[in-house]
Amino acid sequence: MTTSRPSLRFLGATRTVTGSRFLVETGDSRVLVDCGLFQGLRELRRRNWAEFPIPPESIDAVVLSHAHIDHSGYLPALVRQGFRGPVYCSPDTAALSKILLTDSAHLQEEEARYANKKGYSKHSPALPLYTDADAQDAIELLAPQPFDTTFPLAPGIEGHLRWAGHILGSASIALDVDGRNGGRRAFFSGDVGRPEHPILEPPSPPPDADVMLIESTYGDRRHATDDDDLEELAQVISTTAKRGGMVLIPAFAVDRTEVVLDALHRLEESGRIPELPIYVDSPMALDVLGLYRRALGNGHAGVRAEVAARDPFDTSRVTECRSVQDSMSLASLSYPSIIISASGMATGGRVLHHLRRLLPDPLNAVILSGFQVDGTRGRRLADGERTVKMFGSYVPVRAEVHQLESFSVHADLPELCDWLALAPGEPDLCYLIHGSERASNAMRDAVDERFGWTAVVPRPMERVLL
């Protein structure tokens, strides 16, 4: 076995955005890069329940690019099925994962409880994909590693993390495989941040690598410019406030809440929006905000120096809503206000209660703040559907709905290509992953055209030699 060539298997985020999981195997070792949940359409979510294609206990180590659930959220399930190895990641990813995996377990448990109560599961009783105990077991395995420092992952496999500028702690991952047989380097972009992220430093350039796996979430798109989106945000808020309505911003708990607060801060400072009360209604988002605040205060290398100098999250009237009572009290607000609440794609969380209350009234506005996965309520709202279903019944959509893409923390096609152009050498193969089939295909064509690299959109579960 020891002479067999190292291989790579695409276990997820292949012709789809979520479920990031890639297996690197040598004769001696198995390393899983990312361990994400499939999210969105039911058919995708069902894949989380499929038997893992190899025995989880046979995996030596996991390495996580970042804490987003589509990259980390399967970890407790892997542990539940017997994985016991270390989970390497950056220190901030470890800190964020503690918050996100705990929350994810609660959502899984809640979903199972709800299914049992409503009797809609085919299984009786419905079980959660994993429990809080599984999440805590997974958290115990987190093994933080600094950026730009080589560390051993498994016999014959070394890795290092590179700053990816997508969210706090996010990394691209380079794996050096099987050095004694000449060695191959595989590079996993993870999610790549935008060069103009308002808070975080831009991503480090890609290294020289034999094989690259590059995300293509926005592989077929170009973001509106930040200025256009800021202008739209200012207009929506101003006109909604003028007519006495409420502004609801569903926002991902990690990074998006920070980016939105920063934008509101800048608009308020420059007098482009009135000073309105702002409520951040998500305990998880507030925990994450605490980590961002600490990073700003500590002179974190990933935070833009000019941002650390001001407090971008402090607008004149921000209220933190932690308790359920705090959240419920927002229902009786009678003056124009801004509510920021999770989840960002309206798949669950407190934002649903606000949507149910605010969507039927044309005075109000809902501002979606980033990528909306197919099959989510956020996607349906962005697509202009006139009703959305929540809590078992239909709610009419009469509020204004806007989607602002520059709040995305993913690079778009031109930004991804400009970033790839910084690679010092040409890979033998460039695989486009983490995108819809259309987005990945578009980016494959762009990479082929601009760089002349051999670019491939792999098939789910496909295995290739490294």
Q: How far is the CB of 188 from Zn ion (least distance, A)?
A: 13
DSSP alpha helices (H): ranges in 171-254?
A: 226-242
**In the window 424-463, what residues touch Zn ion (CB under 5 A)?**
none
Told to check if 379 binds Zn ion by CB under 5 A, we report no
Is the separation of the CB atoms in 93 and 100 below 8 Å?
A: no
> Which are the contacts of 106, defined by CB distance < 8 A and separation ≥ 6?
132
Q: For the chain, report the end-to-end CA distance as a whole number of angstroms.
A: 16
**Closer CB to Zn ion, residue 30 or residue 256?**
256
Binding range to Zn ion, per CB under 5 A, among 20-28, 63-71, 274-282, 339-347: 63-71
Burial class (CB in 10 A: 0-12, 13-18, 19+), 466: buried
Pairing of strands 184-188, 211-215: parallel
Rounded Cα gap, residues 275 and 273, in angstroms: 6
Q: How far is the CB of 458 from Zn ion (least distance, A)?
A: 20
Q: How far is the CB of 34 from Zn ion (least distance, A)?
A: 10
Binding range to Zn ion, per CB under 5 A, among 34-42, 67-75, 110-118, 250-258: 67-75
Binding range to Zn ion, per CB under 5 A, among 64-72, 156-164, 318-326, 432-440: 64-72
Q: How far is the CB of 410 from Zn ion (least distance, A)?
A: 7
Rounded Cα gap, residues 260 and 312, in angstroms: 10
**In the window 284-323, what residues touch Zn ion (CB under 5 A)?**
none
Say how far residue 80 (Cα) sits from the centre of its chain: 23
Q: How far is the CB of 191 from Zn ion (least distance, A)?
A: 4
**Closer CB to Zn ion, residue 10 or residue 371?**
371
**Closer CB to Zn ion, residue 68 or residue 380?**
68
Give DSSP secondary structure letters for 350-404.
THHHHHHHHTT-TT-EEEE-S---TTSHHHHHHTT-SEEEETTEEEE--SEEEE-
15, 68, 354, 444: which one contacts Zn ion (CB under 5 A)?
Answer: 68
How far, CA to CA in Å, does 137 sit from each of 20, 78, 189, 278, 329? 21, 10, 27, 37, 36
Which of 139, 357, 367 has the alpha carbon at shortest distance from 233? 367
Binding range to Zn ion, per CB under 5 A, among 66-74, 204-212, 343-351, 389-397: 66-74
Told to check if 380 binds Zn ion by CB under 5 A, we report no
Please name the residue that has the structure tokens 């050498």.
425
Told to check if 191 binds Zn ion by CB under 5 A, we report yes
Q: How far is the CB of 168 from Zn ion (least distance, A)?
A: 11
**Closer CB to Zn ion, residue 165 or residue 458?**
165
Q: How far is the CB of 228 from Zn ion (least distance, A)?
A: 23
**Closer CB to Zn ion, residue 76 or residue 193?**
193
**In the window 391-430, what residues touch Zn ion (CB under 5 A)?**
none
How far, CA to CA in Å, does 294 sit from each of 95, 161, 258, 287? 12, 22, 13, 11
Told to check if 160 binds Zn ion by CB under 5 A, we report no
Binding range to Zn ion, per CB under 5 A, among 13-21, 38-46, 187-195, 270-278: 187-195
Binding range to Zn ion, per CB under 5 A, among 140-148, 183-191, 371-379, 390-398: 183-191
φ/ψ region of 159 (left if φ > 0, alpha if ψ in -120 to 50, else beta) reads beta
**Closer CB to Zn ion, residue 171 or residue 417?**
171
Rounded Cα gap, residues 33 and 299, in angstroms: 29
Q: How many residues of this chain bind Zn ion (CB under 5 A)?
A: 2
Told to check if 256 binds Zn ion by CB under 5 A, we report no
* Positions that interact with Zn ion (CB under 5 A): 68, 191
